[in-house]
Structure 1
Amino acid sequence: MRRLPALVTTAITAVLCGQLVAPAAATAEGFTVREAKIAGSGGISLAAKVIEPEGADRGPRPLLVMPASWALPNIEYVGAAARLAHESGYVVVSYTARGFHGSGGEVEVAGSADVADARKVIDWAVEHTSAGDEHVGMAGISYGAGISALTAAEDSRVDAVAAMSGWSDLVASLYPNETVSSAAAELLLASGKLTGRLGSELRELERAYRQHRVEDELDMARERSPKNRIDQLNANGTAVLLANAWQDSLFPPGQITEMFERLNGPKRLMLSPGDHATPELFGAAGLPNRVWERVADWFDQHLRGVDRGVPASGVELQPLNSSEWRSYSSWRAVSRRTETHYLDAPRKRHPLAPGTGELPTDERPSWQHRIEAGDPTLAHSGTVLVSGALQGFTRMPVGVPLPLVDREDAAVWATEPRSEEVLVSGTPRLGVTVTPSARSVSLFVHLYDVGPAGRGSLISRKPVTLRNGKPGVQQRVEVALRPTSWEVPAGHRLALVIDTVDTRYRDESSGGTVTFGSPDGNPADLRVPFG
């Protein structure tokens, strides 16, 4: 954990360096860039950059408002904003969120004051620029994505939103299956303190986190979750584009796909390899980028009335190990079929082989299998931000030598080799009976693509923590892993690994044992979706 502040600094520096090309673009003919101080909610000052097309006005121009990401200043989007102003005639106002850098106030974590600030920015732009309020869009990455979605729900003037690397459900993001995402929490807190001034609610949240009572502050997270504003977005008819990375360390894709399914207006979902904010990073600097190109098309179609050929509803996925984008009519269409594999008892195939269970497609007799809890294994989710970024930029997956995973501390199952190439596409789901020897235990579920040499590439994962139970009492555990898209070559196997420690998360596995089982009438199974 001592490396996190340095990692935060490195990540922020990379983002800023990637976007320092933006001011150079501002010298190009066709638009102007100017600084502005905008009065936000409660009279605080918001530091903004206004990018405005040059030339005679032809009636009010369409307006785009872009709140900056967590810990970043308003320079973040100037490159993309310059292209949008120059090529499509948008007035773009990019501003630093309250509490960070040159903006006043304290960090409110996308609270009501942040939404009120965004609405004040729209008011100001209509009064002080050539923009009108008839065609308004909002866009942002990470923190800016969350503020944009929440504002669109509250303000019917916002016709279209592009939320990139944002969240739908803060509880599911930072407390997945009652497991504290400690690496994400440390990352956000360290970067917030480095670049901003934490508000009272965030300071209280940090105290609760340090004192291991996160549950006391979950209402704060729920209030700031766009998933609880979907009815308002639907009532407003807001056109919503959602883009995230498969390996996002802060806001995993499962909560985004759930939000997408509940929207009933114009909507588009994009998922691609990478970690938090990396798929759209270079596009924000004005460089060619698939996500930002689609964002521009989205706004042109829903704000300017220009037909860019984007369907009213659709999904675009780039598999984790491929450069090809695939298009679907809906999220449900991503999975054509589901293959159910039943977990069989782990056993040694010969004296030197590690104990591994089969994953047949037919049910097997009941069984139980016990592992030790509280010790790490070679199966892990990778390093926060770094592993996902490497996957996105170099297609280097988080790997594991499956034969070397300690079978005393992990339970392992594997299928037979596939006879032909298949595409795992959608949300894998696991159901298994668990009997912990302690009141609480954390389980970390990993799904791998394993080659002939035994090297596994991580396809999907998910934590789950069983809290305040009765030791020795069986319970059925159902886990929806992260949505994924992965091309499994012929001759490869799928492997399931469950252990009890992962350094990204605060685990509850201090010791004891965990017994997995598959009782008659309620067999343990792994449901794998294929495209």
Structure 2
Amino acid sequence: MAVDTPGNPFTLSTDALAQLEAIREALLDPSPRRIGRLDQWGLADTYETYAETSTYSEVSIAMDDGTVLDASLSVPRDLAPGQSLPTVVMPAPLIGIGHRAYLGMIPRLTLGGYAVLAYSQRGLAASKGEIHVAGPLDVTDATTVINWLSQHDAVDSERIGFFGSSYGAGTSLLAAARDRRIKAVVGTSAWGDLFTSLYENGTRHLKAFEALVELFGEDRCSEEFRGIIQKIRANTVDDEVREFARARSPKHQLAAYNENRTPILLTTAWHETIFSVPGVVDLFTGLTGPKSLLVQVGDHGNGELPGLAGLLSKPTEMAYRWLDHHLGGHAGDGREPRFGVRSEYMHNLLSDLHHPDWESYTLPQERFHLADAAAGERDARLVRSEPQADWTRSVKATGQGTEVVVAPKLVQTGLAERMGLPHVYKTAEVDRGLAAIWTTDPLERAMRVQGEPAVRVTVKPEEKDATIVAYLLDCDPATGKAAIITHAPYTLTGEQPGQAATVTFSLQPAHYVLAAGRQLQLVIDTHDDFFADANTTPSAIEISSPQGAESYLDIPLDAQD
């Protein structure tokens, strides 16, 4: 299922929408003509088998306040007297077609012995009401949906699981913290901490935020959410914003998950531009019950997209095994689920590594010191030797960024990475007045970055507020072309103009293999359209390494086996 994004990074392609509509028509009217149309996507046999054994209906479910949600229910036919089934509930992702995004998964689950209820949350697609962003009312709605399901004889209320992608993942996780009837959860492209997804190291993720707001549609949002939107746009990150995010963050529900020992499967991506990867890792690490984390090449939603269409994908195949293991169905391939951390490394889709936990997954840090440029060289050095003090490099804040950015396009850049086509950064052509660059010697052997790098630098802005953005790149010394490994912003606020501050901050986790002869490259500039920066323009920012607080880059690094 491809994504076509002329304006919105979450829009499905025309072919994908046509496929989903053809599936829906075949489910509602399983005639030979309708099912035959699916042959062009190789799905006719699956849906013919489904039509012989199962029923599909579109239903409306009234919530406690009278709001009606749009949903679909799929149930195997010809159950024995008294037979009840494990049930999967699927809150929709943030997409215009709502619960129909899951149409490709419904036959697999139903043929695997599950009753399946997919629904669009309030304010989305054809559901009524206002959008609350997986708020308390949405969590209450999930419980009402379970109550409604429990009235059906076919539903075993002791074997209910939730599957959700993106927005649906957040609702699924939050519902499981409140309703003990939820015995297993799968959250693909999940979030763990909504606040860090909006606000990282004092820096707003404005581009992703505005893309999500556009997708929600402000006119459909609750008054509370519209107020939060305006506050974030105005950079008023106060207690109300923090509480809004806290109430919607699964990370803050760890006590409930751990008390209930809720089995939770999470997936995310190395180049995730929508939700914070560290937030997902923190949630996973804090869980003490059965848990699994998959981290893939790409960006938000890329990994599970084929699986949602009924094709193969790691997230959905893992989901079927997870649900089977904990609920007793047989939608998967019969193998046990993997617990712990499963990962791909950039940009190899065929890689498949496994570690029992995040601690064993992460490599020990190796320290590279930020040094001055060698005589006759324009770029500074990353060296393994002693700390390097008493140098200064200056970058201009003009409101214009360099060619080095987090991602030229939300979601799309990561999707190209999954196809083995990472974006090429021409760092040799970067304006050194706008960015400072440090580079290692060419690597003598292939190396892997595996974990969370960190940077320490001393920053001296001309004005009281300043933003810098750090990028770690994989550079080819022969061409000056590079690919991004990871990044992070950092914003200083309330400092005295001209006062130096030493800051240490982590970059996003990464899993990346560098070939022998490549170079690690650290780029620090002052602007990226992905973030809202705090710089006064024009101004200058000095980056230095004073005695006793020398600058460094810590990288979880080791030789590639």
Question: Does residue 227 in structure 1 map to residue 254 in structure 2?
Answer: no
Q: What is the Cα deviation at residue 160 of structure 1?
A: 0.7
Whole-angstrom CA distance in 2 between matches of 1:41 and 1:487: 52
What residue number does 1:458 align with? 484
What residue number does 1:112 align with? 136
Q: Tell me which amino acid in the other structure corresponds to 1:432.
A: V
Question: Does residue 281 in structure 1 map to residue 305 in structure 2?
Answer: yes
Q: Tell me which amino acid in the other structure corresponds to 1:37.
A: S
Whole-angstrom CA distance in 2 between matches of 1:110 and 1:132: 26
Q: What is the Cα deviation at residue 349 of structure 1?
A: 4.3
Whole-angstrom CA distance in 1 between matches of 2:457 and 2:340: 34
Q: What is the Cα deviation at residue 18 of structure 1?
A: 6.2
Give ranges in structure 2 of 5+ residues lacking alignment. 27-45
Give ranges in structure 1 of 5+ residues lacking alignment. none
What residue number does 1:492 align with? 518
Q: What is the Cα deviation at residue 250 of structure 1?
A: 0.8
Query: Is the CA contact (8 Å cut-off) linking 2:192 and 2:283 kept in structure 1?
Result: yes
Whole-angstrom CA distance in 2 between matches of 1:53 and 1:348: 71
Q: What is the Cα deviation at residue 218 of structure 1?
A: 2.5
What residue number does 2:38 align with? none
Q: What is the Cα deviation at residue 43 of structure 1?
A: 2.0
What residue number does 2:393 align with? 369
Question: Does residue 519 in structure 1 map to residue 546 in structure 2?
Answer: yes
Q: Tell me which amino acid in the other structure corresponds to 2:308.
A: A
- Partner-residue secondary structure (3-state), 2:190: coil
Which residue of 505, 511, 519 maps to 1:479? Answer: 505
Q: What is the Cα deviation at residue 209 of structure 1?
A: 2.9
Which residue of 325, 330, 339 maps to 2:366? Answer: 339
Whole-angstrom CA distance in 2 between matches of 1:273 and 1:309: 24
What residue number does 2:227 align with? 204
Which residue of 449, 455, 458 maps to 2:474? Answer: 449
Q: Tell me which amino acid in the other structure corresponds to 2:533.
A: D
Whole-angstrom CA distance in 1 between matches of 2:508 and 2:470: 10
Query: Is the CA contact (8 Å cut-off) linking 1:21 and 1:285 kept in structure 2?
Result: no
Query: Is the CA contact (8 Å cut-off) linking 1:20 and 1:285 kept in structure 2?
Result: no
What residue number does 2:493 align with? 467
Identify which range, 139-148 or 180-189, moves more after superposition: 180-189
- Partner-residue secondary structure (3-state), 2:207: helix
What residue number does 1:51 align with? 74
Q: Tell me which amino acid in the other structure corresponds to 1:416.
A: D
Q: Tell me which amino acid in the other structure corresponds to 2:410.
A: V
TM-score, with structure 2 as normaliser? 0.89
Aligned-residue Cα RMSD (Å) equals 2.1
Query: Is the CA contact (8 Å cut-off) linking 1:354 and 1:403 kept in structure 2?
Result: no
Whole-angstrom CA distance in 1 between matches of 2:262 and 2:206: 34
Whole-angstrom CA distance in 1 between matches of 2:248 and 2:366: 37
Which residue of 115, 121, 126 maps to 1:91? Answer: 115
Identify which range, 298-307 or 164-173, moves more after superposition: 298-307
What residue number does 1:423 align with? 448
Deviations 1:2-47 (A, max 9, x none): xx99522762456645644643455533222111111223121111
Q: What is the Cα deviation at residue 116 of structure 1?
A: 0.6
Whole-angstrom CA distance in 2 between matches of 1:170 and 1:395: 30
Identify which range, 17-26 or 499-508, moves more after superposition: 17-26
Which residue of 316, 335, 348 maps to 2:342? Answer: 316
Would the alpha carbon gap of residues 54 and 250 (structure 1) be closer, same or farther in structure 2, given more than 3 Å must change? Answer: same
Q: What is the Cα deviation at residue 370 of structure 1?
A: 1.9
Q: What is the Cα deviation at residue 282 of structure 1?
A: 1.4
Q: What is the Cα deviation at residue 450 of structure 1?
A: 0.7
Residue-pair matches, total: 521
Query: Is the CA contact (8 Å cut-off) linking 2:5 and 2:12 kept in structure 1?
Result: no
Whole-angstrom CA distance in 1 between matches of 2:430 and 2:420: 23
Q: What is the Cα deviation at residue 419 of structure 1?
A: 1.0
What residue number does 1:254 align with? 278
Whole-angstrom CA distance in 2 between matches of 1:229 and 1:79: 31
Query: Is the CA contact (8 Å cut-off) linking 1:335 and 1:530 kept in structure 2?
Result: no
Whole-angstrom CA distance in 2 between matches of 1:365 and 1:9: 44
Whole-angstrom CA distance in 2 between matches of 1:21 and 1:492: 48
Q: Tell me which amino acid in the other structure corresponds to 2:311.
A: L
Q: Tell me which amino acid in the other structure corresponds to 1:39.
A: A
Q: Tell me which amino acid in the other structure corresponds to 2:189.
A: S
Task: Percent identity, please.
Answer: 31
